Structures are given as C-alpha cells and as structure tokens.
Structure 1
Amino acid sequence: MAQLNRRELLKALAALGVAAHAAPLFASSAPNKRVGVALVGLGYYSRDLLAPALQLTQHCYLAGIVTGSPEKIPVWQKQYGLKDYNIYNYSNMYELANNPDIDVVYVVTPTGTHKKFTEIAANAGKHVWCEKPMAMNANECQAMIDVCKKNKVQLTIGYRMQHEPNTQRIMQFAKEKPYGKIQTIIAEAGYNSGNAGYSWRADPKLGGGAMYDMGVYPLNAARYTAGEEPIAVTAKMESTRELYKNVDETTEFELEFASGSRARCATSYARSMNLLRADCEKGWYELNPFQSYSGVQGKTSDGIQLAPSPANQQARQMDNDALAILNKSPLIVPGEEGMKDIVILEAIFKAAKEGKRITL
C-alpha cells in the first residue's frame, strides 16, 4: 500500500507538471500589460537564448539593449526592431531612468560586474533580473539587495532551473519525502571546454573558474533537493591546464546537512557531467540531465518517468518573473536566495584553500 501511495503521489505531481508546461507558474490577475525588458550584455546567452525566448513570452518583451559593442547595435535593431532611444551603452545606462518603455533591466554580464549594473538599474527605478551567480561575494549581494529595496524595485536571480517543471517536482519531493529520508545527494555539472583561448571564464576578477561559472548549478541543486541549508562544507580544487592557472578548472565539494544527509558535488571545465540524484531510505530519484537548456528528464526507483517539458526554460522563467512584477506577488528566486549560494561558495573556496572542514 505504501508503494501504491507513493506512485499515486508521483503520478499526480507529473500530471500537474504537464499542465505547467503550457503556462507560467503564476496565474495572472494582472491587466493586459507586458513588461519591457532591456538586456545588459549581448553575449551568447542574451543573443542565442534570452532574446529568442522573449519572442515566446506572454507577459514581457524585448524593449531595449545595453551594450559596450557598437557594432552589435544595427544587427539587433534589424532583427528585433528596437528603437534608437531604447539603445544604451555602459556609460549612459543611468539614463534609463527617463525611459518609460523599459521596466526591467536584465543583467547578463560577467559576475564581477553584476553589482555595478544592478545598482545603476535600481537607482534608475528599474526592476532587476540578474544572472547567476549573483555576485562575487556576500557583501556585494547584500549591497544589491539593499539598493533594490531602497528604490522599491524587485531583484530576482536567473536560476532558470527553479522554474523548470521536473526540477519543481524534485523540490516538492524534498517536502513530501515519498521515498523516505534523503541519505545522499549527488549533484554534478560540467563540460569539457577544450583548449579555447582566453575569456572572462579564466579571469578571477570577473567571476571566472568552474565554481563560479558552473558550480552554482550543483550547489543550488543540492540545497533545493535536500530542502534544507547545509551546516558544513569540505572541498578541493585543481587546475591542470595553463589557461586556468589563475582559477579552478575542477572543484569537488561535499555539503553536510543537519538531518544527516550529505551532498557530493562536482563542477568542471575538464569533464562533462550533468546529474542530480537523491538516494533515500526507500528508493531513489534522479534527473539526467538536470541543468541542460532543454530535455531535463529523469526517473525514480519504482519506474516513474519524469518526461522532459516542451516549454522554453528562459521564456517560462521570464514570464514568471514578469508576473511577479505585474501582480506584485512573491518572487520564485529573490536576491536573498542568490546570496545564500554565494555565502556557501565563499566557504567552499576557504575549505579548499585551508584543506579543512568549514562550518556554516
């Protein structure tokens, strides 16, 4: 009977997930208004993922851009019909304060610049969506939270996975515990970068290194899979290639939780990995892959298949965040959530440097 009840629970969650594929998480009670979004930084993620996703959203649209590369402007204007007065650079970005077309500034630049651009946007009276990781350290995170509160604008962090249906089921499992107490979590995210030339990912001042760049995926996943905050961490880091001599190429870390659960996590520029798994008293469940841009899927020990959602992850994330603005409703991933990861991330670096267990 216990097995039957567990299967019934998972089937019900799966049914809810299918319904969620077709619509944002929040039900909208907002007027027929769409939120105007300006993308700050026109690199790969903005160009190939966010801008196309904004064409699929129901509650927001691409209204403007902020870029330090003038040669990109005509390309974006031709493709998206952007008006001249909605084009900004990093020097005149503060003038957003005078532009009613733009409601949100989405910061999509290297981590080392997040605080600066968040402060400019918030002081201009614009809501801020900031890519992860939130900032370089906890002090920067707190400054970002404070400036947004001071200006009465929302600050949300771009953890798209927390908007993804199968990930939301994993988060629900942490509450319902259909397989009993969680004993061990495995969370791994990495890719083989090859021998590409220098980029910001090799610059520690900009947030380079595997832990800042990719490590927040397994770190955040371990936290939402456990459904609790870690109490201690151990870690080790290594770099084998000259390109990454100033940053971590691979980081392995373990989180301890008060319940007795442990999370073994890894991130790397040298190894391809994409797994989230929870082993429990009465079974297990996993997502594999767990943080890809599409095709997030998984299974459970008793045969439940967690099928991939057809929804665009970035569109779903931005629609949810737009509805939070329009409805003045709670954010799924507020700045405080982003800061929690950075506090732990700093402890991971300290644990690796000192070679000892760090309590949180």
Structure 2
Amino acid sequence: MKDAFASESSRRDFLRTLSLGAGATLLGSSALASPLNWLAPGRKLGVALVGLGNYSTGQLAPALQQTKYCQLAGVVTGSPAKAAQWQQQYGIPAKNCYDYKTFDRLIDNPAIDIVYVVLPNALHAEYVVRAAQAGKHVICEKPMATSVADARHMIAAMEKAGKKFSIGYRLHFEPHNQAMMRLGQSQAYGKISHLAADNGFKFSSGGTPWRVNKKLSGGGPLMDMGIYCLQGCLYTKGQVPVSVTAKFTPETGTGYFKEVEAGVNWQLRFADGTVADCRTSYAENMQGRLRADAANGWFELEPAFGYGGLAGRTSKNDGLLNLPNSNQQAAQLDDFAQCVLLNKSTRVPGQMGLRDVQLLEAIYRAAETGQAVSTKDVVQLIDRTSAH
C-alpha cells in the first residue's frame, strides 16, 4: 500500500502546515498586521465570564492571563463573596462585577466586549439572548443548548444583534485534534472505514450536582462528556452521519442517575458506509480516546479530550501526532478576539452548535425507542477549518 507521505519532503510540508496552525491560514493577508493595531495602546478586548464555577476558575481565568488579544475584564456571579475574591485576585473593578439581576446593565459598559457564558446547560439560551440584547459578542459553553428550539432562538438573537457568536469547542484550537481533522478529512491514510471514541468519568457525591439534574443539564454524560466523542468523529470524518442507533447503559445502583442516564453507547452511520462507535458514561472512568481506521493504516489520540496531556500515534509511526500540548482556552479566546477585530467568521459558530444539539437529540431518541433514527435532515455543516 502506498504511503500517504511517501517522501520526507511531503511529511515536512505537512508538519510545517500543522505548526502554523489555523490562525495565519484563516487570517490571510490580514495576518501580516497584528489585530492589536486596531486597538488603543495597551487595550485588549474585555471578556466577562458569566458563572464562576470550576471551568471559569480553573481554566478560563488562568487562560485569560496568557491571551494576546483579550483580557479578563468582568464577572457575573450570584455570590458576592466570589465577586470580591475575583476583584482582589484579578484586579477587576467593582463596576465590572454583576449579578444575574444586574446582568443587562452590561449594555452600558464599554470595557466589556465579549461575554462568555459558563452556566449550567439549561441557562445558556437565556444568557446568550440577554448578552445579545446588551450588544455583546458571545462565546457559549458546550453543549450550546438543551433543545433545538433554544439553539435556533440563540442564533436568531445574535444575528439580530449583529454580533459574533461561537461555541466553546476548545479542541478545534488544539494541535492534536487539529491534526486528526487534517489526517481524516484529507484521507492521508486512505478512506476512513471505522471511527471509535469514548469519554467519561465516575460521578461521585462530590461532583457538580447540576450535572445529574435533568432540568439544568438537559441530560447526563452524553451532554457533558459524550459531545466530545460526537464532535471528534464528525471533525475527523468531515461529514455528518445519515443515521444513528443507541442504547442506554444500566443504572449502577448508586442512586445518582434518577433523572439522567448513567451512560449511553451509540453508533453513527455515514453515507459512504463508515461507522463510528462511541461510548460515554458517568459510571466508568475513561481516559478519552479518538481513533480512525482507514484503508492504509490508523491514527488515534489517547488521551484525546482533556485540558492537557494529550498524546497521539499512528500505524506508520511517522510522528504526525507527536505534537506539543498548548493552552487550549487561550488559543480559543484569542481566535475569537481576532474574529471580532478582523470581522471574520469563527470556525465554531452557533450553527455548528445547533447541528450538534440536533444530533444529541437524535441519539437520545434512538436510545429511547430502540430504533435507528435518521439524521439526514441535520444541516451538513462540515468543519474543514484545519483539514488542508
């Protein structure tokens, strides 16, 4: 079988393209000038974090200390103690701290350009719409919404406001996952025949309670950890499936899963015959894996979806997945800031979030009915951002 990278020069070309990342490619000639030239001296785009839970505290706030084009400028929290702590730790002015009742006053604050919604899933729609009405650009954490209707409402509100809108799909800015996109969509190892992905952890009494509250979460591990598996298969294949089958995994007897599933296994079928087998769980620790088997070899990441420590390998041992880890959130935030500054499209738009909510609903429907569910009507939004 012919090696997709038959010459050392072609391999070097691929690695060089990979090292450049998506930013310069997407910016084109505009990349020659720093977006900071568009700002007043010393001014970065101000970001307000809405919700100060673990992700904001442990990932987003530290990442905003490393960004080039944006900075932590404000917070929205229902806890006065947290607001005071963040003011002291990050030097945030009291006038840039809001609670959920005063949230709409953001419209009068020019220091805040971007609102990042980091709330329980069921609250995403309300606060994206309110941020749009306040005239702010918005990043919304995944999953975008707990229903297709909410997702469409969010997109309509952002379009009406004329503001940029993206979903917090951080792995689209991570070198290993970008390489999976390129290898899969360019068919570097030939046509993909099979994909596999899994992601999960054991939920415990010390976990975040809203994750097993269906009203707030919209579902269990599928909405939380499983969406990484779904995304990974879609951006590696570069296509949307035509149907899905699924089944819930049994309750574990812990009592945690009275409202949401303990786990779910599902299978995606693509128009060309490719199959993707995926698993997610709140009852089993999974390292997180994304693998593609193709006509001329295989390539995989394990761990695939974490905040760091990602690692990959290929059947050819060609080094194409021997890549550095990076701050995913800083890269994501800076990319969105450049979208705002240069008026360019985000690679993770609201329409992608809508597509995925449609597919999540199809997986739940398949598990509930025991029948294959067609996904042919799902918008064919393909991520080719990093494919070539």
Q: TM-score, normalised by structure 1?
A: 0.95
CA gap of 1:15–1:192, structure 2 versus 1, over 3 A, is farther
C-alpha displacement of 1:174: 2.6
Identity %: 42
The one-character-per-residue Cα deviations of 1:25-77 (angstroms, maximum 9, x if unpaired) are 75355243321100000000001110000000000000000001111011101
Q: Aligned residue for 2:229?
A: 218
Q: Aligned residue for 1:341?
A: 356
Query: What value does the CA root-mean-square deviation take over the aligned residues?
Result: 1.9
Structure 1 residue 5 corresponds to structure 2 residue 28: no
Q: Aligned residue for 1:293?
A: 307
Taking the aligned partners of 1:216 and 1:310, their CA distance within structure 2 comes to: 21
C-alpha displacement of 1:244: 1.2
SS at match of 2:158: helix
CA gap of 1:48–1:4, structure 2 versus 1, over 3 A, is closer
Paired amino acid for 1:277: R
- Determine if contact 1:6/1:179 at 8 Å carries over to the other structure: no
Q: Aligned residue for 2:270?
A: 257
C-alpha displacement of 1:173: 1.8
- Determine if contact 1:114/1:134 at 8 Å carries over to the other structure: yes
CA gap of 1:80–1:7, structure 2 versus 1, over 3 A, is farther
The one-character-per-residue Cα deviations of 1:131-158 (angstroms, maximum 9, x if unpaired) are 0000001111100000000000111000
SS at match of 1:146: helix
Q: Aligned residue for 2:35?
A: 30
C-alpha displacement of 1:4: 6.5
1:135-284 mapped onto 2 (5 Å cutoff): 135-196=145-206, 199-207=209-217, 208-238=219-249, 239-240=251-252, 241-273=254-286, 274-284=288-298
Q: Aligned residue for 1:70?
A: 80
SS at match of 1:329: coil
Taking the aligned partners of 1:79 and 1:24, their CA distance within structure 2 comes to: 36
SS at match of 2:66: coil
- Determine if contact 2:195/2:293 at 8 Å carries over to the other structure: yes
CA gap of 1:302–1:143, structure 2 versus 1, over 3 A, is same
The one-character-per-residue Cα deviations of 1:159-185 (angstroms, maximum 9, x if unpaired) are 000111121111112321011110000
Q: Aligned residue for 2:378?
A: none
- Determine if contact 1:156/1:334 at 8 Å carries over to the other structure: yes
Paired amino acid for 1:3: D
- Determine if contact 1:24/1:316 at 8 Å carries over to the other structure: no
Alignment match of 1:302 (pick from 295, 305, 316): 316
C-alpha displacement of 1:22: 11
Taking the aligned partners of 1:232 and 1:266, their CA distance within structure 2 comes to: 16
What stretches of structure 2 of length at least 5 have no aligned partner? 376-388
C-alpha displacement of 1:193: 2.3
C-alpha displacement of 1:21: 10
- Determine if contact 2:45/2:71 at 8 Å carries over to the other structure: yes
Structure 1 residue 107 corresponds to structure 2 residue 121: no
Deviates more, 1:318-327 or 1:265-274: 265-274
Structure 1 residue 53 corresponds to structure 2 residue 68: no
Paired amino acid for 2:328: Q
Paired amino acid for 1:307: N
- Determine if contact 2:3/2:189 at 8 Å carries over to the other structure: no
Structure 1 residue 359 corresponds to structure 2 residue 374: yes
- Determine if contact 2:192/2:295 at 8 Å carries over to the other structure: yes
Paired amino acid for 2:292: A
CA gap of 1:347–1:133, structure 2 versus 1, over 3 A, is same
SS at match of 1:253: strand
Count residues in correspondence: 360
C-alpha displacement of 1:325: 0.5
Q: Aligned residue for 1:15?
A: 16
Q: TM-score, normalised by structure 2?
A: 0.89
C-alpha displacement of 1:188: 0.9
Alignment match of 1:330 (pick from 345, 349, 371): 345
CA gap of 1:144–1:89, structure 2 versus 1, over 3 A, is same
Taking the aligned partners of 2:192 and 2:22, their CA distance within structure 1 comes to: 28
CA gap of 1:146–1:10, structure 2 versus 1, over 3 A, is farther
C-alpha displacement of 1:340: 0.7
Taking the aligned partners of 1:285 and 1:106, their CA distance within structure 2 comes to: 34
Taking the aligned partners of 1:196 and 1:24, their CA distance within structure 2 comes to: 43
Taking the aligned partners of 1:310 and 1:210, their CA distance within structure 2 comes to: 25
